[in-house]
Structure 1
Amino acid sequence: MKTLKLGPILDERPVRLTIELPAAVHRDLVAYAAAMGAGGGEPPEPAKLIAPMLARFMASDRAFTRGRRTQG
């Protein structure tokens, strides 16, 4: 399998959110977690993937980062 975009999941102090995901998105999260564990490690809990995925998405959004720099 190719290298995944998401790296190791850091254990930081979380802020609790309750969200509803479409079933297809949840299945994809479960599959992504399994792919992360395919290298012999313990696969992370699928819910723990959501925050790093969102962070990576926002960091790669040029318009968002440009707007954030100009605001503060």
Structure 2
Amino acid sequence: MTDIKLGRLPDRTPVKLAISVPPDLHLALADYATIYHETYGDDQAIADLVPHMLSAFLASDRGFAKARAGLAARRK
């Protein structure tokens, strides 16, 4: 086998997730999409913004990161 710098790419198959949100959250998400458009001049659907919003939220949650590292250690 040839030794190359780039390792095997991880699974990038999207997983579809259907959720229901309360009307006030939907309005907030719609407002976010409007402000996003006003800021960047780029229309993005709420469904396209939400995964990035969730990723940013999880990345900024230090308590979650610490607890998740503990879970990973227990899986080994």
Q: Is the TM-score greater than 0.5? A: yes
Residue-by-residue CA offset, 1:10-34 (whole Å, 9 max, x unaligned): xx75311111000111111111111
1:42 maps to 42
Residue-by-residue CA offset, 1:4-63 (whole Å, 9 max, x unaligned): xxxxxxxx7531111100011111111111111113522210111211111111111111
1:26 maps to 26
- Report the alpha carbon displacement of residue 71 of structure 1 after superposing the two structures with TM: 3.2
Higher relative contact order, chain-length normalized (CA < 8 Å, sep 6+):
1
**Residue type of the partner of 1:59?**
A
In structure 2, the gaps of 5 or more residues are 1-11
In structure 1, the gaps of 5 or more residues are 1-11
Using structure 2 for the length normalisation, give the TM-score.
0.67
RMSD: 1.8
Using structure 1 for the length normalisation, give the TM-score.
0.70
- Report the alpha carbon displacement of residue 68 of structure 1 after superposing the two structures with TM: 1.9
